[in-house]
Amino acid sequence: MTTGPARPPARLPWFDTRLPRMRGDITWIYLWGAPLRVSHWLAAVSLVVLFGTGLFISFPFWVSAGEASGHFLMGRFRFVHFLAATVIVFAGIIRVYWLFAGNQFERWPALWPFTRANIGHMGAMLKSYLTLDPKIQPHFVGHNPLAQVAYTAIYVGTTIMMITGFTLYGQSNPGGFFFTIFQWVPGMMGGLQGVRVVHHTVAWLYPIFFSIHIYLAIRADYIERAGVVSSMLTGGRFVASHEKFEDCDLGDHPSVPWHTGEHPTWVKPQ
Amino acid sequence: MFLRKAEPWLDGSTLGEHLEESGVSRRSFLEFCTEMAVVLGLGSAAAPSVAKALETQKRPTVIWLEMQECTGCVESTIRSEAPTIGDLVLDVVSLDYSETLMAAAGHAAEKARADSMAKNKGSYVLIVTGSVPTKEDGIYCCVAGKTIRQHLEEAAEGAAAIIALGACAHWGSVQAARPNPTGAVGVRDIIKNKPIINIAGCPPIGDVVTATVVHYLTFGRLPSTDREGRPLFAYGNRIHDQCSRRAHFDAGQYVEVFDDENARRGWCLYQVGCKGPATYSPCPIVQWNQRTSWPIGAGHPCIGCTEPYFWDTMSPFYRRLPNVGGFGVEERIDTIGASLAIGAAAGVAAHAGMTVLHQIRSRKNMKQLPEHAPASPEDSNNG
Ligand code: HEM
Ligand code: HEM
Ligand code: SF4
Ligand code: SF4
């Protein structure tokens, strides 16, 4: 490749004039480490499966006819529930590791966004969602604080689900590992039925979260055009050089093509 | 006394001698010991040592205090169509004091108890049924001019061990259920300095009581227990894991209402509120009334009567999940949860529609910039 004077951008006969394009000094920043992304997708799949199978366990709406020996319907649902439970535990272990090894947006202090400034930002986010006006929306490199509250709630909820779930699971093998390490749980929740109620009630957190979260992720991508959804796949998103962020000052960042390998991989804390 | 015909077991004579006097054959005694060894989880090989330990046993002193209760536990313990050898062993429990079973009454009965307690101080076994009312200084249950709490404290003082028989004695059972008008509590809430074993159930199975007494006589100590104080040999496993209907649970075959076809087929009672998944009890194995049947066997869901505070924690009995704060979880929580989930999805759909309309409108007005225009804030400011 020869290096010459900057060439005009390639022209595509139709699109160029009709579609609005993002212009300017745009760069790709690497935000979400691979462990975060892996744990995100493991959690996404397993939590959907856990909610679906849990629903069946709590209300077995299909009844199978004939000899019991010919069927294993509840058995299968429970098996898949427990299989997904091991996956969510695995995802949780990765996420906890990354709470200590990740960047400033992934570390444990990020889980608690309730600073005075952030509470104001939450109000602004809410207002922007309600008025549909993206111009009044504050910008963040990482999660916006409202989203962070939802993620923290999901982490807390999932911890509760794991503790109550493995307590119930342990009952089939009294004296066994899970039975023994979670012996303190039934006493705290007013017996095994209390544990079941907690497990059953917290489960409703998930369908509420699923639709809002997926919607807002896709919506942010649609409005901001910063590649936010793919940030959970590739790890990075786009930022424009003049864009002001509330959670971080990106400073001067010349646009460097990704393939040169000189992209900024870290962002300075404010 | 359970066996009126039997000779009284005299102070100082061993159980072996006593059984011989009562005309019990060696063979049936060994059969009984084998059965007890099995119930206790020792295996039939342990039968000879159980027999040996029992035979040489001197008559122990047992005081049975009946507090705020329904006598259901006494009923269950002595329940037998034909007197069994277990009753003979249990004979011991009736002797010194038991309001329901003893022949003496009034001052004579009180005196017999006081004498026996004084004479055997530190060595007698105290069996307790019923709960202790604590409100209004415990006046809700008085015997011989004293509150039952005073009786309990006096009797516990010199006891070697306490057997809390039935849900009342450990957790207060129905009397302690919300709103617990008498302030009923179990023995363990009053007596803190004695070993207490919890023979849970409302009422417990008679054989479990017998086996616990046999264990005490054989080994000179109470059997090992779980966190709730229940003997592990009986309460070590969940109903759900020993249940004869479990195959139907795993297959996905449930009774949906009590008189449906599935109920006739003997399918699993999970959906009509069975608490077997949360209950530890030997009912499916030991069964009731000389192995005649047991609740789930007879088509009724388990109500969880061996679990702590079961009237509050296990009710409503015909629903899977308990009431919380006075309302049914399955109804309310599921209604609220499902409404929120559906509401969130509907809200998301509406918001998405409006967002798209809004974006289409505002993008129409967006400035078209000339090619090679320098970057400017509006340019990439989407919106
Ligand atoms: C359905 C189950 C899902 C769950 C439980 C879930 C959960 C989460 C959590 C906990 C985070 C925060 C990660 C962290 O920083 O700790 C997150 C972030 C994210 N998720 Fe999901 N997710 C799910 C599905 C999805 C789907 C289907 C998409 C894609 C459309 C998606 C896109 C994203 C994006 C883009 C972010 C980063 C958003 C931001 O910067 O605020 N998620 N998700
Ligand atoms: C975090 C997401 C999870 C969700 C949404 C979920 C959902 C549910 C639901 C709705 C039930 C039915 C509760 C009832 O009405 O009795 C259930 C049962 C159960 N869950 Fe989960 N669960 C989750 C995680 C787990 C985990 C991590 C475990 C660990 C092993 C677990 C183990 C169990 C067990 C043992 C049962 C009872 C099954 C039975 O009684 O046969 N769950 N779950
Ligand atoms: S535990 Fe139940 S059966 Fe026993 S005395 Fe109390 S109420 Fe009666
Ligand atoms: S009847 Fe009750 S204990 Fe038996 S398998 Fe069904 S739920 Fe479990």
Would you state the structure tokens that stand for residue B10, as one six-digit string? Answer: 């005299």
Say if CB B217 and CB B53 are below 8 A apart.
Answer: yes
Distance B52 CA to ligand 3 centre (A): 34
Mark which of B209, B234, B259 sits at the end of a domain.
B234
H/E stretch holding B126: strand B124-129
**B159 shares a domain with B290:** no
Say if CB A244 and CB A139 are below 8 A apart.
Answer: yes
Backbone angles phi, psi at B127, to 5 degrees: -100, 135
Assembly ipTM:
0.83
Other C-beta atoms within 10 Å of B240: how many? 23
pLDDT, residue A1, reads 43
**B246 shares a domain with B137:** no
Q: Which residues pair with B323 in a beta bridge?
A: B328
**B336 shares a domain with B230:** no
Tens-digit pLDDT profile for residues A7-22: 555 555 555 454 445 5
Q: How far is CA B277 from CA A77, A190, B180, in A?
A: 16, 15, 27
Q: Which chain B residues touch A243 with a CB distance below 8 Å?
A: 380
pLDDT, residue A21, reads 54
Say if CB B2 and CB B94 are below 8 A apart.
Answer: yes
**Domain range holding B193?**
15-49+58-234
Nearest to B310, CA basis, from A98, A4, A117, B302: B302
Tens-digit pLDDT profile for residues A182-234: 999 998 998 899 999 999 999 999 999 999 999 999 999 988 888 899 999 99
Q: Which of A20, A132, A197 sits opposite B358 (nearest CB)?
A: A132
Please indicate, yes or no, if residue B66 is contained in any of the structural domains: yes
Helices (H) and strands (E) in chain B, counts: 17, 11
pLDDT, residue B30, reads 85
Residue at B249: amino acid letter:
F
**B109 shares a domain with B68:** yes
Q: How confident is the model at residue A115 (pLDDT cuts 50, 70, 90)?
A: very high
- What's chain A's average pLDDT? 86
User: Does A217 contact ligand 1 (Cβ within 6 A)?
Assistant: yes
Q: How far is CA B270 from CA A36, A75, B209, B318, in A?
A: 40, 14, 29, 9
**B83 shares a domain with B191:** yes
Other C-beta atoms within 10 Å of B68: how many? 22
Mark which of B234, B252, B286 sits at the end of a domain.
B234
pLDDT, residue B33, reads 85
Nearest to B129, CA basis, from B102, B174, B169: B169
CB pairs under 8 A between A and B: 168
What average pLDDT does the segment A138-143 reach? 90
Other C-beta atoms within 10 Å of B158: how many? 19
> Nearest residue of B to residue A19 by CA position?
B368
Q: Is residue B82 packed enough to be buried (19+ CB in 10 Å), middle (13-18) or exposed (0-12)?
A: exposed
A111: pLDDT strictly greater than 70: yes
Q: Which of B322, B344, B377 sits opposite A193 (nearest CB)?
A: B322
Q: Please give the Cα distance from A84 to B77 (Å, whole number).
A: 46
> Nearest residue of B to residue A11 by CA position?
B371
**B243 shares a domain with B215:** no
A254: pLDDT strictly greater than 60: no
What fold does the segment set A15-61+71-260 form as a domain? Fumarate Reductase Cytochrome B subunit (1.20.950)
Would you state the structure tokens that stand for residue B287, as one six-digit string? Answer: 């069964």
For residue B65, the domain's CATH number is: 3.40.50.700
pLDDT profile of chain B (383 residues), mean per 10: 52 76 80 83 84 79 87 78 55 60 76 84 88 92 89 91 93 92 93 92 87 83 90 93 95 92 93 95 88 92 94 90 67 86 94 90 66 45 40
**Do residue B351 and residue A215 have CB atoms under 8 angstroms apart?**
yes
Nearest to B273, CA basis, from B239, B318, B304: B318
Q: For chain B, what is the domain count?
A: 2
Q: Which of B178, B235, B253, B267 to mutate to test the interface with A (most CBs of A within 10 A)?
A: B253
**B242 shares a domain with B228:** no
Please indicate, yes or no, if residue B366 is contained in any of the structural domains: no
Domain chopping of chain A, boundaries: 15-61+71-260
Is some CB atom of chain B closer than 8 A to the CB atom of A215?
A: yes
Distance B153 CA to ligand 2 centre (A): 45
Q: What is the CA radius of gyration of chain A?
A: 24
Distance A57 CA to ligand 2 centre (A): 8
- What lies within 8 Å, CB to CB, of B100 at 6+ separation is B66, B71, B74
**B31 shares a domain with B140:** yes
Tens-digit pLDDT profile for residues A24-41: 677 788 889 999 999 999
Please indicate, yes or no, if residue B191 is contained in any of the structural domains: yes
pLDDT, residue A270, reads 38
pLDDT, residue B85, reads 53
Distance A122 CA to ligand 3 centre (A): 57
Is some CB atom of chain B closer than 8 A to the CB atom of A126?
A: no
Q: Please give the Cα distance from B267 to B245 (Å, whole number).
A: 6
Q: What is the Cα B118 distance to its own chain's centre?
A: 33
pLDDT, residue A167, reads 97
Q: What is the pTM of this model?
A: 0.86
Mark which of B203, B234, B265 sits at the end of a domain.
B234
For residue B321, the domain's CATH number is: 4.10.480.10
- Taking only residues 220 to 259 of chain A, the set having a beta carbon closer than 8 angstroms to any beta carbon of chain B reads 222-225, 240-243
**B88 shares a domain with B73:** yes
